Amino acid sequence: MRKSPVDIGRVLDALGDSTRRAIVERLRQGPLSVSALAGPLQITLTAVGQHLQVLEESSLVHTEKIGRIRTCRLEPTGFLALHHWVQDHRSTWERGLDRLGELLAESDDG
């Protein structure tokens, strides 16, 4: 299994929340300010900030304050770690299923 500096448990926990997934979906279109994120979600700026903190700690989002505006964008590091984790687990399952298929084929021949 590949080593990653990102805690995959934190990534999965972060994406387990529907509001955080909605934030990620909105940021797929490009960087947005915190206030632009808060509007359609119908939650307070404080709540958005708390969700963003979790997403930042999971390396899924990066925020940057320029002047009075805090801008958010997707951070590829967490998504890359998630991709590697899924690929590693997928290949493990595929090898197991391939072996099961071989065993079943052997039992059909015997």
- Consecutive sets of 10 residues in the chain, 110 residues long: mean pLDDT of each? 74 96 96 93 92 97 94 96 90 80 78
* CA dihedral of 42, 58, 71, 24, whole degrees rounded to 10: -50
Q: What's the pTM? A: 0.79
Helix boundaries (H) for the chain: 8-15, 18-27, 34-41, 45-57, 76-109
